Chains A and B, each alone.
Chain A
Amino acid sequence: GAVVSQHPSRVICKSGTSVKIECRSLDFQATTMFWYRQFPKQSLMLMATSNEGSKATYEQGVEKDKFLINHASLTLSTLTVTSAHPEDSSFYICSASGGADQETQYFGPGTRLLVL
């Protein structure tokens, strides 16, 4: 099956710093990547959709200057949380679709961010 990796798996940072999370499709070319945020005991909330080589499309209410998304290649997308604050602490999950199965999103293992 399609494999998506995410790095780092956990990160603790001080308030005001920026954190970069990488999402890679390991065995297929991901034409589209998605970034989600999940709070404890809640469902996934889509933050943005990114297509390789173009600007990300952000969901309503998601600050694009706060959550910078780059999809520079068909196997890599990055999410940078700029000037992180404690309220940004959450579980961030990426997914990718592409290759032979365009309709299914395959998810990475997620990144737990804790901002002190």
Chain B
Amino acid sequence: AQKVTQAQTEISVVEKEDVTLDCVYETRDTTYYLFWYKQPPSGELVFLIRRNSFDEQNEISGRYSWNFQKSTSSFNFTITASQVVDSAVYFCALSERRNTGKLIFGQGTTLQVKP
């Protein structure tokens, strides 16, 4: 069965610290997509990244970086030099090709960055 696990419910860091949000997934499909979304207090989900199962190359976008490892079924997200504006709930999600694009969400990790 498909499943996404974000074991960290809440993380609190001080500004400028680096922080890694963990995501572990389960799927029987060989073709799938992984996503990260950010949900600030306003409520809107902001798309951050999509990775397909055939592309294990790590990605960096500014202070954000993602580490995709199929061997451990993980898709971790690191924020470097965190800022107060990074405070939000972050969701990892899985989409299977054969499942009409439905997203399976993790429970979310609440990140609080203190000044």
Contacts and interface: CB of A to CB of B under 8 A. Distances in A.
A25 interface: no
A106 interface: yes
Interface stretch (A16-24, A60-68, A97-105): A97-105
A2 B91 CA distance: 19
Interface stretch (B19-27, B44-52, B63-71): B44-52
Given A43-B105, A46-B102, A49-B102, A103 B47 contact: no
Interface in B1-60: 33, 35, 37, 42-47, 50, 52
Interface residues of B, number: 21
Interface of A: 1, 32, 34, 42-44, 46, 49, 57, 91, 93, 95, 97, 102-110, 112
19 contacts: A32-B101, A43-B107, A43-B108, A46-B103, A49-B101, A93-B45, A95-B45, A103-B50, A103-B52, A103-B101, A104-B33, A104-B50, A105-B35, A105-B47, A107-B45, A107-B46, A108-B44, A109-B42, A110-B43
